[in-house]
Amino acid sequence: MGRVGVLLLNLGGPEQLEDVRPFLYNLFSDPEIIRLPFTWLQKPLAWMIATMRHTKSQENYKEIGGGSPLRRITEEQAVALEEKLGEKGNNAQVYVGMRYWHPFTEEALAKIKRDRIDELVILPLYPQFSISTSGSSFRLLERIWEDDPELQKIDYTVVPSWYQRSGYLQAMAQLIAQELDHCPNPDQVHIFFSAHGVPLKYVEEAGDPYQAEIERCTELIMKTLNRPNPHTLAYQSRVGPVEWLKPYTEEAIPELAQQGVEDLLVVPISFVSEHIETLQEIDMEYRELAEESGIKNFYRVPALNTHPVFINDLADMVVEALESPSVHFSEVVRPSKRVKMYPQERWEWGMTTAAEVWNGRLAMIGIVAVIVELITGQGPLHFIGLL
């Protein structure tokens, strides 16, 4: 066996307030996040969204100390994983590659080439696969690999998702049990799983397995926990006017309060590290919403971070991947005939799903054009006197 490496993939996050705007631009420049019919629209739209949203986003980051802890925590996970692999007899070098902020995936790959890695395990820190998370990183890596003969010499394998692994489930169950045992009436606490949402069309039109994996993961965690508590699954962090996976977290919490729930324990199921969506969105926004709705006791399960059972399971995952047949990008960015990443679907006339999708996209282009005119003060509508 030659030199072994592990590439941990994650989203990334702005570490300082001045990073917020370029981070948002990078995020919304990704066609896996916002799908447009014309690629030339992607960057102008990303610039507009980043310009309009960065002030509000900066306020949110101020509330958690001025920046995201995601890089620090992910690098701590990398160190812990490297140490655990060493204990298991595998001297592997662990690298961190972020999709939208430093250290970027490209930076990690430069280090991997510098260190002359022979075998590489690519491990996303997303338990469940989605087109917009793991899929986006795999798509980027596939493009880079195709253009780099040096990378093509590396024997790599990809771990698509790992939500069903016993070590991960045990770590989640342990964290939930610890929080429940601190409650005055643990059996009466309603367990509320909050997952990051995705647009509904990703699941219905593109065949994204994310929803099915999240639902199955919730079932497996509750089975592993083996407690009598009722539970709910909802989705947070939706953006824009399109329909996302339901129920929405901000709607489900008041509904539970109306049903008489007084004790709520929120579990961030799709996150393995603390970041803006746990520290600000859940701990602040949803806590305030719960209290206003009548929830008397609001609890939250911490993210896994460097939980020893979780890190041990990541190490086992790496060892198993090295001993198994290689899985390549083409097998995971298109995991079934039903999953469509790109190219996007062709135009169809009539009352068809594709026609509705394209009509919606064209309408969005019109809306974007109007917004751009309002911002710049120039354009055809100004010319004819309508604005």
Tens of pLDDT, residues 310-327: 999 999 999 999 999 999
Q: 6 and 80 in contact (C-beta within 8 Å)?
A: no
Q: What percent of the chain has pLDDT over 70?
A: 86
What is the value of pTM for the model shown? 0.86
> Model confidence at 356, in pLDDT bands (50, 70, 90)?
very low
**φ, ψ of residue 292 in degrees (nearest 5):** -65, -30
Q: What's the pLDDT score for residue 367?
A: 54
For the annotated binding site for Fe(2+), the residues are: 196, 277
> Model confidence at 377, in pLDDT bands (50, 70, 90)?
low
Residue 209 CB partners (closer than 8 Å, separation 6+): 128, 129, 130, 161, 335, 339
b (16+ CB within 10 A) / e for 75-97: eebbebbbebbeeeebebbbbbb
Per 3-state DSSP, the chain is made up of helix, strand and coil in percentages (nearest 5) of 50, 15, 35
> Model confidence at 245, in pLDDT bands (50, 70, 90)?
very high
Mean pLDDT, rounded, of the chain: 89
> Model confidence at 134, in pLDDT bands (50, 70, 90)?
very high
Tens of pLDDT, residues 85-107: 999 999 999 999 999 999 999 99
DSSP 184: S
Q: What's the pLDDT score for residue 112?
A: 98
Residue 384 CB partners (closer than 8 Å, separation 6+): none
Tokens 């995201």 locate to 68
For the annotated binding site, the residues are: 196, 277
Residue with more model confidence, 238 or 289: 289
